[in-house]
């Protein structure tokens, strides 16, 4: 008698958390360290979270190569970008294939802030079509009471992305700039999207 054994393998997902600027020790900043610990408990998910070089200015010329070389962002990676990290995620997706993107407090202009203007992310036009074609899905978390990124600015990102791809928008009224210690809704999204 001949018996064949088949084992099914789910596709391993990598999650790279790209923080907002100003975090020297990312594991102690906002929800980043908490999320890393929670994601380690999710089946078939590995998490990359590292202190970013140039944490205050978050320069495009430094962060995008770091995302590729140190965080290992590739076609199996879900990039979770918060604030400046969301802008880095979008710019990275213009030229790199990703599994998915989770944007938290995303924006598309420097909004008159000199630090943001010097980052390099806002030099040149956005390639929204490339961003959308280089990722399987996009989720955006936005809060109406965000004191750093106006809600209208966050919705401008959604509007641009929706020209080329459906965006799963998770809208809140009371999360401000998503600087809390825990972010269970993020873990729910990763669990849902990695099982799909």
**Is residue 96 annotated as part of the catalytic site, yes or no?**
no
What pLDDT, on the 0 to 100 scale, is given for residue 11? 64
Q: Which of the residues 86, 125, 177, 181 is marked catalytic?
A: 177
Span 1-45, pLDDT tens digits: 334 433 344 568 999 999 999 999 999 999 999 999 999 999 999
User: Which pLDDT belongs to residue 196?
Assistant: 65
* 146 is an active site residue: yes
Buried b / exposed e across 148-178, counting CB within 10 Å, b at 16+?
A: ebebebbbebbebbeeeeebebbeeeebebb
pTM over 0.85: yes
User: 82, 96, 143, 146: which one is catalytic?
Assistant: 146
Catalytic residue among 83, 105, 119, 143: 83
**160-192 pLDDT tens trace:** 999 999 999 999 999 999 999 999 999 999 999
Q: What is the pLDDT of residue 1?
A: 39
pLDDT > 90 fraction of the chain, expressed in percent and rounded: 92
Average pLDDT in the 95-102 region? 98
Residue 6: what pLDDT? 37
Is 28 one of the annotated active-site residues of the chain?
no
């Amino acid at each position: 008698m001949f018996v064949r054994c088949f084992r099914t393998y789910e596709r391993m997902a990598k999650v790279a958390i790209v923080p907002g600027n100003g975090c020297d020790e990312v594991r102690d900043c906002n929800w980043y360290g908490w999320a890393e610990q929670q994601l380690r408990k999710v089946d078939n998910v590995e998490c990359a979270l590292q202190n970013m070089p140039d944490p205050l200015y978050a320069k495009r010329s430094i962060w995008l190569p770091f995302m590729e070389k140190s965080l290992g962002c590739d076609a199996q990676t879900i990039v979770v970008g918060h604030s400046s990290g969301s802008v880095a995620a979008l710019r990275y997706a213009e030229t790199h294939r990703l599994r998915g993107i989770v944007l938290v407090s995303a924006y598309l202009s420097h909004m008159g802030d000199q630090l943001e203007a010097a980052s390099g992310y806002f030099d040149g036009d956005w390639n929204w079509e490339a961003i959308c074609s280089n990722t399987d899905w996009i989720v955006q978390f936005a809060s109406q009471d965000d004191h750093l990124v106006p809600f209208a600015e966050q919705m401008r990102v959604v509007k641009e992305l929706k020209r080329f791809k459906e965006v799963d928008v998770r809208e809140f009224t009371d999360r401000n700039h998503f600087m809390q210690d825990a972010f269970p809704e993020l873990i729910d999204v990763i669990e849902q999207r990695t099982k799909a």
